[in-house]
Amino acid sequence: MRVLVLGGYGAVGAPTVAALRADGHSCVVAGRDPRRAERVVDLAEPGLLGYREALDGVDAVVNASGAEDPDLVTAATGQAKAFVDPTATPGYVKRIEQLEPRAPVLLSVGLAPGLTNLLAADLPGREPIDLGVVLGSGERHGAAATAWSLGLLGRSFADPATGEAVRNLTRGRVLDLPDGRRRLYRADFSDQHTLTRDLGRPVRTHLGLDSVAATRALSVLARLPGTGALRGVRRVPRLPGSEEWVLVATSAGRRRWARGRNQSRGTAVVSAWATGLTENLPAGVHHLHEVAALADLPPLEEVTLG
């Protein structure tokens, strides 16, 4: 496939390009910086003219830019190009699901959502599922990922199973991780909403950092008034911790987990694999757990399963 990668020189975009090329695809690196982009594309441009022109000659688009605009989807699918997006934002996912695209759109293709979806869908039964997402606080994340994470502060969301209002980074729950038990906190990732609907069982996502102290500090900060002011911050100092990430799905004593090093590279390799799946998908909006199973995931150097 020939793939246009939006934000293809960023923290997630660059390793996504590398992973796609390693899988045998060719890539067009797109972005605003003419020094780093093979195709200069400004996603804030009225009418997205540059983006629409860049679609010529490609088979698929991977959105690694962090931009959340349904017009990107309709422009690509209107030209019969597949669209792949690792977004974790529930509202944006819902807006895409309301579209009727003329080409395949594949969502939930990163780590969380994405690999968490496959872990959860692999658990048998009808009991509730708890998802745990532990990110490496020592990793230097891109501006879009930082803004998304800080955007959780001061906000609440509706529990996908009960509709009850839940404040982000509160309601701690102790989960069994590969290296021991950790208290993690509720966070509004899109996977819990999609999976609760599709699996017909309650799914709740919990977030933490690999540093226990940093996780506790984040939970305290989330409870303070005025923390919403941090949502505009694009860069934060590197926190204590490593680049190790861990995902876990647990239900009724059963557990599936995945782990690796460097969240950006993990997201990239899963997204690249998922992009290849779009060659055989019909038009419409799909999530990764609807088109693949955990057993379908190829061996990836960046991901260890258990």
pLDDT band at 208 (very low <50, low <70, confident <90, very high): very high
Report whether pLDDT(229) > 50: no
What is the value of pTM for the model shown? 0.94
Cα–Cα distance list, 277 to 71, 109, 146 (Å): 23, 11, 29
In this structure, are residues 288 and 88 in contact, taking their beta carbons and an 8 Å threshold? no
pLDDT digits (tens, 9 = 90+) for 251-304: 999 999 999 999 999 999 999 999 999 999 999 999 999 999 999 999 999 999
Which structural domains are found in the chain, ordered by start? 2-109+265-293 (3.40.50.720), 115-262 (3.30.360)
Residues in the chain: 306
Query: Which H helix or E strand runs over 173?
Result: strand 173-177
